[in-house]
């Protein structure tokens, strides 16, 4: 097994002006919130694997983490690993990479072995020739977890990563302790209700090479993704420059579109397997200004133990926009029972 390490520079603090953003925020905040409400009515070891790893970043708060790569069907997956304790696997969303978890990883690593993957084809993972539906992506993540000897894991997932995480928990239930799914409804169970609220959903699903030829250089990437990020409640909390760079590579950018092109197949697969209910605890977290309770409404169609949480004062990118809440909630949900039950916004996070 080939495992290599790589160095990632410290966080770049991307700043963007706020002027002109209000009109773009509607679809993520009130707009998709309305879709979420509509959804309520309508039911959207391998010890050697560490060889050659190096510190993930020069930043002090990530100095405990190591980079690595692990072979899977169709290529390799990049991961960042640190901490001790029960294993917690982190799966990012689009258009981001493992870096979206940077603010929560050090806290989680105090009581867990944290492993943040770049999804197949994204970030520093290699681009497979096919298999961008969630079942295949989940199989590749599971293969990596098995090769790394991680055993049974908890899953903390966001956006596209939550779609993958659902398939992972459904297809490998004995290998999952708990699932936390942030800020997405499931294909086939509500996500389609959001399509009319932002053109990016269907644009990204357009046949190849339509989006590839339209978004075909760094300037286009910055304009497109910058417009998406401008809808955030706190856009300055997002390291936008980091993600512009990650998706400036045409092959990885195309892989992101391929995930969206697989949405119809995902919906069919989810509906066909909806009777295979998840029985492990599921924390379904929406953002106050986006999906809100719609995430839980969606997962209730496929799981028997769903806890509804709403991240306060946050837009879609909860790990960056309200990392303090997410750290506290994840510590509770993936940790032992607390001496004093949590209250308020943290009450649903109790294990």
**Separation between Cα atoms, residue 14 and residue 117, nearest integer Å:** 23
pLDDT exceeds cutoff 50 at 146: yes
pLDDT for residue 38: 39
Question: Which domain covers residue 167, as residue numbers?
Answer: 54-336
Express as a percent the part of the chain with pLDDT over 90.
Answer: 82
pLDDT digits over 147-177, tens only? 999 999 999 999 999 999 999 999 999 999 9
pLDDT exceeds cutoff 60 at 47: no
185 within some domain:
yes
17 within some domain:
no
49 within some domain:
no
Q: Which residues contact 16 (CB under 8 A, 6 or more apart)?
A: 226, 229, 230, 235, 236, 240
pLDDT exceeds cutoff 50 at 39: no
CA nearest neighbour of 155 among 128, 117, 189: 117
Overall number of domains in the chain: 1
- The domain that holds 206 is classified in CATH as 3.40.50.1820
Q: Average pLDDT of 87-98?
A: 98
Neighbours of 207 (CB within 10 A): 8
Q: pLDDT category, 262, cuts 50, 70, 90?
A: very high
Q: Average pLDDT of 196-222?
A: 97
As beta bridge partners, residue 155 has 89, 179
Q: pLDDT category, 208, cuts 50, 70, 90?
A: very high
Beta strands in 159-260 (DSSP E): 176-182
pLDDT for residue 78: 98
**Separation between Cα atoms, residue 152 and residue 111, nearest integer Å:** 16
Q: Average pLDDT of 249-256?
A: 98
**Separation between Cα atoms, residue 190 and residue 1, nearest integer Å:** 41
15 within some domain:
no
Given CA atoms 95, 106, 235, 350 in this order, what sign does their dihedral have? positive
pLDDT for residue 31: 39
43 within some domain:
no
pLDDT for residue 223: 98
Q: pLDDT category, 238, cuts 50, 70, 90?
A: very high
7 within some domain:
no
Q: With contact defined as beta carbons under 8 Å apart, do 161 and 61 qualify? A: no
pLDDT for residue 197: 83
- Cα 195 versus chain centre, distance: 19
Q: Average pLDDT of 228-240?
A: 97
pLDDT for residue 24: 39
36 within some domain:
no
31 within some domain:
no
Encode burial over 241-272: b for 16+ CB neighbours within 10 A, e otherwise: bbbbebbbeeebbbbbbbbbbbbeebbebbee
């Amino acid at each position: 097994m080939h495992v290599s390490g790589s160095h990632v520079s410290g966080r770049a603090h991307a700043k963007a002006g706020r002027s002109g953003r209000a009109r773009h925020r509607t679809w993520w905040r009130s707009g998709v919130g309305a879709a979420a409400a509509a959804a309520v009515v309508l039911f959207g070891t391998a010890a050697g694997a560490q060889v050659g790893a190096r510190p993930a970043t020069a930043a002090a708060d990530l100095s405990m983490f190591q980079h690595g790569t692990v072979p899977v069907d169709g290529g390799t997956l990049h991961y960042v690993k640190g901490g001790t304790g029960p294993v917690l696997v982190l799966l990012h969303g689009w258009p981001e990479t493992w870096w979206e978890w940077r603010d929560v990883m050090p806290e989680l690593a105090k009581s867990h072995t944290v492993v943040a993957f770049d999804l197949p084809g994204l970030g520093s993972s290699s681009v497979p020739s096919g298999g961008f539906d969630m079942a295949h992506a989940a199989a590749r993540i599971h293969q990596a977890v098995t090769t790394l000897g991680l055993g049974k894991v908890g899953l903390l997932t966001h956006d596209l990563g939550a779609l993958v995480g659902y398939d992972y928990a459904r297809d490998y239930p004995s290998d999952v302790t708990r699932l936390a799914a942030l800020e997405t409804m499931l294909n086939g169970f509500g996500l389609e209700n959001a399509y009319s609220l932002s053109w990016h959903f269907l644009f990204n699903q357009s046949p190849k090479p339509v989006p590839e030829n339209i978004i075909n250089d760094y300037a286009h990437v910055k304009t497109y993704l910058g417009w998406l990020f401008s809808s955030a409640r706190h856009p300055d909390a997002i390291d936008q420059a980091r993600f512009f760079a990650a998706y400036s590579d045409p092959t990885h950018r195309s892989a992101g579109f391929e995930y969206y092109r697989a949405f119809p197949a995902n919906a069919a697969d989810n509906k066909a397997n909806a009777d295979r209910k998840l029985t492990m605890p599921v924390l379904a977290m929406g953002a106050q200004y986006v999906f809100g309770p719609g995430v839980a409404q969606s997962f209730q169609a496929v799981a028997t133990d769903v806890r509804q949480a709403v991240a306060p004062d946050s837009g879609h990118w909860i790990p960056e926009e309200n990392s303090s809440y997410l750290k506290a909630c994840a510590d509770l949900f993936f940790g032992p029972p607390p001496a004093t039950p949590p209250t308020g916004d943290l009450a649903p996070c109790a294990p």
